[in-house]
Amino acid sequence: MNPYITNTDAEVRQMLDIAGVPSIDGLFADIKPKHRPKSFDLPEGLSEYEVVRKVTGLSLKNNVHLVPFLGGGFYDHYIPSAVGMLTSRGEFYTAYTPYQPECAQGTLQSLFEYQSSMCALTGMDVSNASLYDGGTALYEAMMMAMGVTGRSKIIMDGGVSPIYRKILKTYTHHLHYQFEETPVVHGQSSRPEIEKLLDRNTAAVILQNPNFFGAIDDLTDIIEKAHSVGALAIVSVYPVSLGLLKTPGAMGADIVTGEGQSLGLPLNFGGPYLGFMTVRGKYMRKMPGRIVGETVDTQGRRCFVNTLQAREQHIRREKATSNICTNVSLCALQAAIFMSMIGRQGLKEMAQLNLDKAEYAKQEIAKIKGVEVKRSSPTFNEFTICLPKDASDVVGAMIKKGFAAGFPLGRYYKGMEKYLLVAVTEKRTKAEIDAYVKALEETL
């Protein structure tokens, strides 16, 4: 029951003879009887058709038909067909890590192109070849900042995703780092709160733009303040917004990270996603993860290799900048193809559509009696509204009407039980937004 084994009985016999063992069991002679499995009670195998039928059945138990206004850092964007077609080429997805550059130029050049596009997007000098996801990328950025500065205090702005915040706390709580968080505000980062905490022991200030509540900001002044005490500035960004928004590079950020799911990756119930990281040139040698660099071959032809490997665990072991081995090459390829497909104009248009549709939704939602749209700061494609009742209950009722109405903030923030985070991407039509507003009004 393993269709992927090709040895015939006759071949097994021949090979056993050469191996000098009488039987397959004999190959496992080093495993003593007392080390045999105490149990191995697994089901019998199935045919491909039976598995397909079972798994397809499971897929149908999931509801993917709600009209989504749900974001929280993970968005329902359109993915051009060519993106999936190209990344599902076996030459890409069944290749190994490109340790042998002569037979891996496809992977290496496409990662170099990915790095180039990420630098273009974020306005930074150097990109690595990807990290696991946005949350772990932010963790890596934090560790990197502590490595660069030799300091151990981290200030995290209240607008950073609460999911990321929980991840960073998990990784640091047993280590001797000082982790400070500024209070949560719906709008832009609170300057005085950050300044109060900034000192000569601060390794980095962690910021997010747009922040978790959708507010957009120019973080230049905060970044300057951080630099004035020798701290780094880490900015987590939503890449699609960079079609319109000021880049973290232009704001002076030192390390930029983010979740690249919006660049052509399906939602996939949480993964695989794409963690990206771009940095200032001077910090390149402290960056975690793989980096692809350009060079020439013995005949002077341009080619690409993994470079600066002296940072990495397979060379440096316990002294490496990170324990990361795998990046997410295939996801980076997917993003590279996506960015090439939509191109310079398309990225702007996509961002503009997101902005326009979200602004329209805001305008219409504001007309509902008893609903307040938070307008303390401008937003991109996600915004906060305050409802006259518990947002979680409202979302539950909206599901029955066919909408994933948004993310109830009470789940992560005490006292925000009536607040709802609403995302509107370029895929939402005017008709869907109007229907959503109508359903919301009826629900309240």
Chain residues 143-162 in contact with other proteins, contact rule CB under 8 A: 143
Partners of residue 138 on adjacent β-strands: none
Q: What are phi and psi of 354, to 5 degrees?
A: -60, -45
Residue-wise over 297-319: b if at least 16 C-beta within 10 A, else e?
eeeeeebbbbebbebbbeeeeee
> DSSP code of 183?
P
What is each CA distance from 415 to 157, 184, 241, 377, 423, in whole angstroms? 19, 11, 29, 20, 21
Of 225, 348, 374, 401, which lies in the binding site for other proteins, with binding defined by CB under 8 A? Answer: 348
**Cis geometry, peptide bond prior to residue 183 (ω within 30 degrees of 0):** no
Give the nearer residue to other proteins in terms of CB position, either 198 or 339: 339
Residue list 46-105, contact with other proteins (CB under 8 A): 46-48, 50-52, 54-64, 66, 68, 70, 72-74, 76, 78, 80, 82, 84-86, 88-98, 100-105
Of 323, 367, 388, 442, which lies in the binding site for other proteins, with binding defined by CB under 8 A? Answer: 323
Of 119, 229, 386, 444, which lies in the binding site for other proteins, with binding defined by CB under 8 A? Answer: 119
Give the shortest CB-337-to-other proteins separation in angstroms.
6
Torsion sign, CA atoms 253, 218, 410, 364: negative
Give the shortest CB-227-to-other proteins separation in angstroms.
20
Which residue's structure tokens are 């119930």? 269
Of 9, 22, 67, 107, which lies in the binding site for other proteins, with binding defined by CB under 8 A? Answer: 107
By DSSP bridging, strand 232-237 and strand 202-209 are parallel
Partners of residue 237 on adjacent β-strands: 209, 258
Which residues have a Cβ under 8 Å from the Cβ of 158 and sit 6 or more positions away? 181, 182, 183, 184, 185, 189, 190, 193
Q: Using the rule CB under 8 A, is 402 a contact of other proteins?
A: no
Q: Using the rule CB under 8 A, is 426 a contact of other proteins?
A: yes
Give the nearer residue to other proteins in terms of CB position, either 51 or 196: 51
Q: Using the rule CB under 8 A, is 366 a contact of other proteins?
A: no
Of 185, 229, 308, 386, which lies in the binding site for other proteins, with binding defined by CB under 8 A? Answer: 308
Q: Using the rule CB under 8 A, is 43 a contact of other proteins?
A: yes
Residue count, binding to other proteins (CB under 8 A): 209
Q: Using the rule CB under 8 A, is 222 a contact of other proteins?
A: no
